[in-house]
Every structure is written in C-alpha cells, then in structure tokens.
C-alpha cells in the first residue's frame, strides 16, 4: 500500500492519504485519510502500517491522487464542495461495504453521509434515524472511520452541545480543536 503526505497550509495539520494502486478496473482504491499534528506521528503511522511513501517527484504518476489532494486543499480553504460527489467523479474506488462490514455500521455511515456541509446532528439523532438506541456504538463506528471528510463524522456532536470526539483518543484536545475548525470552515458557529 502506498501513501502521500502533505501539510495543510490552511489548518495546522498534516494529511496522510493511503491507497492501493490501480485495481482490475483501472480505479485507484482509497484506503484511508488520516490527520496528524506532527511529523513524528506520521512516521510512526507509516511504519506501523508498512506504507510506502510516494515522493513528490513521483507524484506525477498518480494524477488521481493529485486531484484528490487538490480537492482536500480546496475544502480546507473553505470552498463549498461535496467531497463525496467530487471523489466519485475521479477514478477512485471507495468500497464502504468492505470498510464497514456490519449492517449497523453501514447504516450509521450512510446516514452520516447524508449530512450536508454546515449541518450537524447528534449521536442520538443518528441513532433515531437508523432505529437504534446504541449511541455509544455509533460513536465507535465513527471513531473507526477511515475516510473523515468524505464520511463527515466531524458533523456529529454530543446531545449536550459538546463537540464530542474525533478520530479516536490519541490527542483529544488537538482532535477536538480540529473538529471545531472543520465545522467552522463549513459555517457552523454554535459549537
């Protein structure tokens, strides 16, 4: 599996995109998009996941990844784009059924993907939409989301109005600030 890494100029984060090269139908298989506070964490992730980092001079071989990075950069600069639709127009495969194997997790993800830019929902509202009371289980599904922004888990907040978690618990304060920044980029000011 390969990866490309770049620093966002708009937000204080490093973006790591991992992918498999072309599959049998010629599409690039997007595996994960991860956000990091520092380069040390990126290096640890590369080592732990045995990812091969693509060098900038080799990036020309991967026009689809260059287009994806442009989309992410546009998003971080505040442009109003629907990442899911834009990525679908690129030659990128995102097989949600492989990433989310249970019917419950698939229902959670599909519901979250219906949230529009600037729209937020609570964990309990997501649970209600899918006919469940398993709020914590919904949080666990979203914590393991390999494609934040595409599956906009940052748009799900606590019922109390607190921001809630984002991407697990490795650096909770930084991750919550990132979630808040993403929501502010989308025009949400009440969090």
- The answer to whether residue 153 is catalytic is yes
CB atoms closer than 10 angstroms to residue 183: 21
Kindly name the residue from 42, 127, 153, 167 that is annotated as catalytic. 153
Query: Would you please indicate which residues are annotated as catalytic (active-site) residues?
Result: 153
């Amino acid at each position: 599996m390969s990866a490309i890494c770049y620093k966002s100029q708009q937000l204080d984060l490093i973006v790591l995109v991992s992918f498999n090269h072309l599959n049998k139908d010629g599409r690039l298989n997007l595996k994960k998009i991860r956000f990091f506070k520092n380069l040390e964490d990126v290096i640890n992730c590369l080592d732990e996941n045995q990812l091969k980092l693509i060098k900038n001079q080799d990036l020309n071989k991967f026009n689809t990844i260059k287009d994806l990075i442009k989309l992410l950069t546009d998003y971080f600069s505040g442009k109003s784009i629907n990442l899911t639709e834009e990525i679908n127009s690129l030659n990128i495969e995102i097989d949600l059924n492989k990433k989310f194997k249970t019917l419950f997790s698939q229902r959670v993800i599909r519901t979250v993907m219906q949230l529009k830019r600037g729209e937020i929902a609570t964990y309990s509202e997501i649970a209600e939409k899918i006919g469940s009371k398993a709020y914590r289980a919904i949080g666990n599904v979203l914590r393991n989301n390999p494609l934040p922004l595409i599956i906009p888990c940052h748009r799900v907040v606590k019922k109390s109005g607190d921001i809630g978690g984002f991407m697990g618990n490795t650096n909770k304060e930084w991750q919550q600030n990132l979630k808040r920044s993403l929501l502010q980029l989308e025009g949400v000011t009440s969090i």
